[in-house]
Amino acid sequence: MDQFQKMKIISIFHFLFLIFSTFFFIAQPSRIHNLTSSQNRLAFFIFGDSFVDPGNNNFINTTEPFRANFTPYGQTFFKYPTGRVSDGRIMPDFIAEYANLPLIPAYLDPHNKLYIHGANFASGGAGVLVETHRGLAIGIETQLRYFKKVERSIRKKLGDSRAYDLFSNSVYFFHIGGNDYKVPFEGSSVHEKYSETEHAYMVIGNLTAVLEEIYKKGGRKFAFVGIPPLGCLPHTRLLNKNGDGSCWDEASALATLHNKLFPIALQKFADKFPGFKYTVADMYTMLQNRIDNPSKYGFKEGKKACCGSGKFRGIFSCGRMRGEEEFELCENPNEYLFFDSYHPNERAYEQFAKLMWSGDSQVINPYNLKQFFQYGSLQA
């Protein structure tokens, strides 16, 4: 019996454990810096890509590279693949816990009919630009459309006044844009006619247009995760044409450009729209620090993935469901910063979530997420 067959058998035996563990997780009190029960009613809405997708892609017509509903994904916490591109939980799971909210499920999950605590619209492979993975992921415009459906549902249930209070107190969390900057380095020629700066302004312009639509529905508190160092992921190291396994500097430079320009655009947006509050987490630095000094943060390996194949396990073959004949899987995912060729593991996601929740301005600026959830509409 090969490794893949063994994992399939294990996942079947743990199916019921998934249900138990999910409800157990929801029922647990927050472990760090939790809020009091007297907080204003609010919800948590998540938009983005595979770093924050809880399994929406399980329910769309897409291809295997855009799914994670097979083993070994989910093996650490849920003991069963949920669709999260991780060995366990992802950032929104931890943030919801710290905020004393239930686990926020995938919007497209047919069992999810109640949105009073929020909804997660994120989709693995999603981008801000329409051309990014068109037809394979739920782009930001469709995620916005889903949010508007939820908004109408909640407004109908609560009435205009109570719904407005809910939406103005709620937190809107975004992790998106990385795919828009990554696809040019993976063979796509869609954006070749634009300069790097033009490309960045297109991404930022499309994203701020989405923010304006949410603002019109009452949204006031927006949290953003910056673009990570794209050139230092195991997959992009493998693709780097110089062949020495170093980071692909050109890819990381696009992330740096976006991270420089986006806060400027957000401040201009805040100047134009009264009450709009934003904060930005520096994912680039958080991830790069762990790549460069893994042992400082409790990891043994910062460059090579736990699951995949080839050099750095940078071939995106984890789970052997993507057309690859074989893949390698490490014994202890907690020792590896990256679980697969693109994505950090649960332990890293928890570290990032803690820093976003209660970190200082070197990590997340100008507010941390605890302040966003705790202080109503953050009136100046």
**Is 317 domain-assigned?**
no
| Dihedral angle, C-alpha 82, 80, 281, 214, nearest 10 ° | 20
**Is 294 domain-assigned?**
yes
**Is 198 domain-assigned?**
yes
Answer yes or no: 340 catalytic: yes
**Which domain CATH number covers 11?**
3.40.50
**Is 105 domain-assigned?**
yes
Find the domain containing 272 and state its range: 3-301+347-374
**Is 335 domain-assigned?**
no
pTM: 0.89
| Residue 299: predicted pLDDT | 99
Point out the catalytic residue in the list 11, 14, 49, 50: 50
Q: Is 33 exposed, middle or buried (0-12, 13-18, 19+ CB in 10 A)?
A: middle
Contacts 24+ apart (CB under 8 A), 366-372: 366/279, 367/277, 367/279, 368/279, 369/95, 369/98, 369/99, 369/171, 369/223, 369/279, 370/33, 370/35, 370/98, 372/171, 372/221, 372/223, 372/277, 372/279
Residue 163 has pLDDT above 70, yes or no: yes
Residue 30 has pLDDT above 90, yes or no: no
**Is 319 domain-assigned?**
no
**Is 50 domain-assigned?**
yes
Residue 314 has pLDDT above 50, yes or no: yes
Residue 12 has pLDDT above 60, yes or no: no
* Confidence class for position 375, pLDDT limits 50, 70, 90: confident
- What mean pLDDT is reported for the chain? 89
Answer yes or no: 50 catalytic: yes
Dist. CA 350–CA 367, nearest whole Å: 19
**Is 340 domain-assigned?**
no
Report the range of poorest mean pLDDT among 126-140, 159-173, 183-197, 264-278.
Answer: 183-197
| Residue 4: predicted pLDDT | 42
Q: How far apart are the first and last CA of the chain?
A: 63
Point out the catalytic residue in the list 49, 87, 180, 340: 340
Q: Tell me the two tokens of residue 115.
A: 């949105």
Answer yes or no: 361 catalytic: no
The structural domain count of the chain equals: 1
